[in-house]
A and B are shown apart, each in its own frame.
Chain A
Amino acid sequence: MLPPPVATRLVRAHGLAAIASVLVSVVFGLIVALELVLPDFFPSVAWLGWGRVRYAHTQGIMLGWLTNAFLAFLYHAVPILTGRPVTSERLGVWIFGLWNFAVMVPGWVLVLAGVSQPLEWAEFPLVIDAVVIVSLVLAAVQFLPAFFRRGIESMYVSSWYILGGLIFTLLAYPMGNLAPEWLPGAAGAAISGLWIHDAVGLFVTPLALAAIYFVIPASTGRPVFSHFLSMLGFWLLFFLYPLNGTHHYVFSVIPMSAQLTAIVASAVLGVSVVIVVTNLFLSMRGAGWLPRDPALRFVSTGTLFYLIVSVQGSLQAQMTFNQAVHFSDWVVGHSHLAMLGFATFAAAGGVVHAWQRIPEARYNPTAITWAYWLLVVGLVVMVADLTAAGLVQGRLWASGEPWVRSIEASRWYWMVRTHAGVLVAGGFVALLVGLITGVRGAGMAVRSATS
Chain B
Amino acid sequence: MTTTPRFVLRTAYLVASVAGVAFFVLSVALLGAWPARVLGQQTATMAPEFPLEPTASERRGRTIYAREGCAYCHTQQIRYLHTDMERFGRPTLAWETRRDSPHMWGTRRIGPDLSRAGGTRSLDWQHAHLFDPRSVVPLSVMPAYPWLFDGTPMQPTQEGRDLVAYLESLGRARALAGQEGEAKAQEACQCPDDAMLRMAFEGPLNAHPAQARRDQSIVPALPASTDISGGQQLYARHCASCHGETGAGDGPGARFLTPAPTRLAEHEYSTGRLAQVLWNGVAGTAMPAWRDHRPEERAALARAVQALSRPRPEPTPTPELLETGESVFRTHCVQCHGESGDGQGFARDAVAMAPASFIGQRPTLAEAVRAVRDGVPGSPMAPWTPRLTAGEILSVAHYVRSLYRTPVSGAQP
Contact = CB atoms under 8 A, between A and B. Distances in A.
A and B: partners? Answer: yes
Contacts of A250: 79
Contacts of A194: 27-28, 31-32
A76 interface: no
A248 B107 contact: yes
A318 interface: no
Contacts of B103: 180, 184-186, 188-189, 192
Nearest to B109: A327
Given A49-B69, A192-B103, A187 B16 contact: no
A252 B140 contact: no
A194 B25 CA distance: 12
A77 B189 CA distance: 55
B395 interface: no
B139 A187 contact: no
A51 interface: yes
B236 interface: no
Given A45-B147, A51-B72, A254-B39, A327 B140 contact: no
A448 interface: no
Interface string A89-132: 00000000000000000000000001111111000000000000
Contacts of B96: 185
Given A40-B134, A54-B69, A190-B31, A243 B23 contact: yes
A397 B83 contact: yes
B71 A243 contact: no
Interface residues of B, number: 80
A253 B92 contact: yes
B27 A243 contact: yes
Interface of A is mostly: helix
Contact of B144 (A40, A54, A152, A402): A40
Interface string B49-83: 00000000000000001111111110101011101
Interface stretch (A168-176, A211-219, A373-381, A428-436): A168-176
Interface residues of A, number: 83
Contacts of A171: 21, 24
Contact of A242 (B27, B67, B79): B27
A300 interface: no
A221 interface: no
Contacts of A191: 28, 32, 36
A258 B39 CA distance: 12
A181 B144 contact: no
Interface stretch (B5-13, B164-172, B256-264): B5-13
Contacts of B293: 402
Contacts of A119: 102
A331 B39 CA distance: 27
B196 interface: yes
Interface string B134-149: 1001011111111100
Contacts of A37: 141
A51 B94 CA distance: 26
B98 A185 contact: yes
B100 interface: yes
Given A183-B36, A404-B139, A118 B101 contact: no
Nearest to A202: B24
A253 B103 CA distance: 13
A119 B101 CA distance: 10
Most chain B beta carbons < 10 A, residue from A39, A172, A253: A253
Contact of A54 (B19, B67, B72, B104): B72
A362 to B, nearest CB: 39
A262 B101 contact: no
B56 to A, nearest CB: 18
Interface in B359-383: none
Given A189-B103, A327-B108, A407-B140, A255 B38 contact: yes
A235 interface: yes
A263 to B, nearest CB: 11
Given A46-B147, A183-B101, A240-B23, 12 more contacts: A37-B141, A114-B68, A186-B39, A189-B97, A190-B35, A196-B107, A245-B27, A251-B84, A256-B194, A327-B75, A400-B87, A407-B141
5 contacts: A114-B67, A117-B66, A238-B24, A327-B108, A331-B108
